[in-house]
Amino acid sequence: MIGKDTALAASYLQQGKLVAIPTETVYGLAARIDIDASVLSIFEAKNRPAFDPLIVHIADPSWLGPLVLDIPEAAKQLMDKAWPGPVTLLFKKSELVSDLVTSGNDTVAIRMPNHPLTLETLRLLGRPVAAPSANPFGYVSPTQAAHVEKQLGDRVSYILDGGESGVGLESTIVSFVEARPIVLRLGGMSLEELETLLGEAPEVNIATHSNPKAPGQLDTHYATGIPLIHASDIRRLASELKGQKLALLSFEESYSDLPWINSEVLSKEGDMKAAAQSLFAAMRRLDEGEADFILAEVFPETGLGRAINDRLQRASHRK
């Protein structure tokens, strides 16, 4: 069922059921963190491996205290300025947070999402929820209620429809577990903005297989069914793949002299925020087409372009 009824959403959550919730980044698949069976049902619905920890979502910064051992000063300052918003903070967890949520880690990732329907639902519920992106494990994250409906519609009690996600990329994850802040995942808050809010350039340590710090940051992720190739020279690649049916995913250039069978130009005006907002929906549309390959441009490595390149790079890994 899809709708805008926050009281209904809160009552399903209260009963321990799964509800898809809108956020400014992407849609989440939410359940209470204090009922083990509910947390497990998230992993089951997404077909997500148990070693990939969940982000806890809260409706107010005051909900944070009981969930963590300590709130460092730098984290306080960032929360003050950035919440509600597209940044998740990593803390040492308290015993209120179960090992199921954190996949056995002694840390917990927490954020306050910026969406009125979800904030109201959480306030009505009166407790935090865990919410990964509401997509089958490894696929592109949903930015519309219809994306969730299509893939997980039969697995959730309710989809709270909050329209299209405004940011379009998952939250940036910053760890405050060490002495200095460390960015573990690029996302909806750019490094430039984060630097301004922190007052210093944070260390960036993006996880890969060889670096298990954020265990969920697998190389193969955000993947379309049609193979996607992330390349800086689109023309050369298109000529190498001559004879194949090709689809284009680009920032502002349309390469209209080439014979695309589908194309998605994310922002003809060169607006990176607009491009980020439409990225995942565009990937889904291309994936529904008939191409043999999707050729995705390397975006400028600035602002949200870095996170877009991160997602396209992971989408392009093949098992």
List contacts with ligand TXA (CB under 6 A). Answer: 23, 25-26, 28, 52-55, 88, 90, 102, 105, 107-109, 113, 131-133, 170-171, 173, 184-185, 214, 216-217
DSSP character string of 286-305: HHTS--SEEEEEPPPSSTTH
Q: Which CA distances in Å does 284 have to 23, 25, 88?
A: 19, 16, 25
The binder of 113, among Mg ion, ligand TXA, none, by C-beta within 5 to 8 A per type, is ligand TXA
With respect to ligand TXA, which residue has the nearer C-beta, 82 or 291? 82
Which of 230-237's residues contact partners 24+ apart within 8 Å by CB, and which partners? 230/296, 230/297, 230/298, 230/309, 230/312, 230/313, 230/315, 230/316, 231/295, 231/296, 231/297, 231/298, 232/297, 232/298, 234/258, 234/295, 234/297, 237/295
Rounded CA separation 180/201 (Å): 10
With respect to Mg ion, which residue has the nearer C-beta, 149 or 170? 170
In the complex, the residues that contact Mg ion under the rule CB under 5 A are 133
With respect to Mg ion, which residue has the nearer C-beta, 133 or 165? 133
What's the closest the beta carbon of residue 315 comes to Mg ion, in angstroms? 12
With respect to Mg ion, which residue has the nearer C-beta, 137 or 293? 137
What's the closest the beta carbon of residue 14 comes to ligand TXA, in angstroms? 20
What's the closest the beta carbon of residue 28 comes to ligand TXA, in angstroms? 3
Q: Which CA distances in Å does 283 have to 79, 152, 200, 316, 318?
A: 32, 18, 34, 12, 16
With respect to Mg ion, which residue has the nearer C-beta, 41 or 133? 133
Q: Which residue number places its CB atom closest to ligand TXA?
A: 216
The binder of 105, among Mg ion, ligand TXA, none, by C-beta within 5 to 8 A per type, is ligand TXA
With respect to Mg ion, which residue has the nearer C-beta, 221 or 306? 221
What's the closest the beta carbon of residue 107 comes to ligand TXA, in angstroms? 4
With respect to ligand TXA, which residue has the nearer C-beta, 17 or 248? 17
Rounded CA separation 21/11 (Å): 13
The binder of 168, among Mg ion, ligand TXA, none, by C-beta within 5 to 8 A per type, is none
What's the closest the beta carbon of residue 50 comes to ligand TXA, in angstroms? 12
What's the closest the beta carbon of residue 210 comes to ligand TXA, in angstroms? 15
Rounded CA separation 304/188 (Å): 7
The binder of 131, among Mg ion, ligand TXA, none, by C-beta within 5 to 8 A per type, is ligand TXA
